[in-house]
Amino acid sequence: MEWVDRLVAVTGWSAEPGKLDWSSTERVLGTPLPADFKELRQRFPEWGAFSDHVLVLEAQGDTESVLANHESLLRSVRESLDNLRMFEPFGILGTNDESSGKGLVQWGYSFIEEEYYWLVDTSMDPSTWPVVARVDPLEPFQRFDMTASEFVYRVLTEAEFFPFGVAATIETPYYRAFWAGGPSEPG
């Protein structure tokens, strides 16, 4: 989990790892999720944002979880072909030919409408799924042959990671957890 370790180091995060259960999400999606991503959420178990920019979906929850988000996207694209066109050329996992096992699954987003997905192929090892991302829902997707945690690390640390990088404006990356008492950085 090299990239997760790098994120922990660069953000100075020191909270205890969580114990997360991905079984229901993986069962409904019909595929295991990448181990790298599950480790990322385990090491950053509290809901929050990297540098007040990148949010990574949770294991469980009503709205901000991988599964709740995926089910919402499925409803949206099944209700309107126009919505489905927004995800071309990939589609959403579960809306293409049901037996294909291919399509997008969202794992994160930014506060400025960037969207981060895996390009899922259930016949492949999840660790090989590329990240596809776009800066705006009306923009085309860009493909990145890397894990979710490497993508987040590059967003936070590489100003030239265009158009997603924030390092030019946020010098020191951090993780801010949104605890019950409000936003707070680890002390």
Say how far apart CA 111 and CA 164 lie, in whole Å: 12
Q: In 10 A of CB 75, how many CB atoms?
A: 10
| pTM tops 0.85 | yes
- Per-residue pLDDT at 187 exceeds 70: no
- Per-residue pLDDT at 182 exceeds 50: no
Q: How confident is the model at residue 1 (pLDDT cuts 50, 70, 90)?
A: low
Whose CA is closest to 59, among 51, 50, 69, 49? 69
Q: How long is the chain?
A: 187
- Per-residue pLDDT at 184 exceeds 80: no
The angle that helices 148-157 and 35-43 make with each other, rounded to 10 degrees, is: 60
Q: Where are the beta strands (DSSP E) in the chain?
A: 48-50, 54-56, 102-110, 115-121, 131-134, 142-144, 175-179, 182-184
**Mean pLDDT calculated for residue range 61-69:** 87
Question: pLDDT tens across 160-181, in order?
Answer: 999 999 999 999 999 999 864 4
Say how far apart CA 80 and CA 124 lie, in whole Å: 29
The pairing of beta strand 115-121 with beta strand 131-134 = antiparallel
Residue 137 pLDDT: 86
Say how far apart CA 95 and CA 100 lie, in whole Å: 10
Q: In 10 A of CB 34, how many CB atoms?
A: 21
DSSP-derived letter for residue 127 is: G
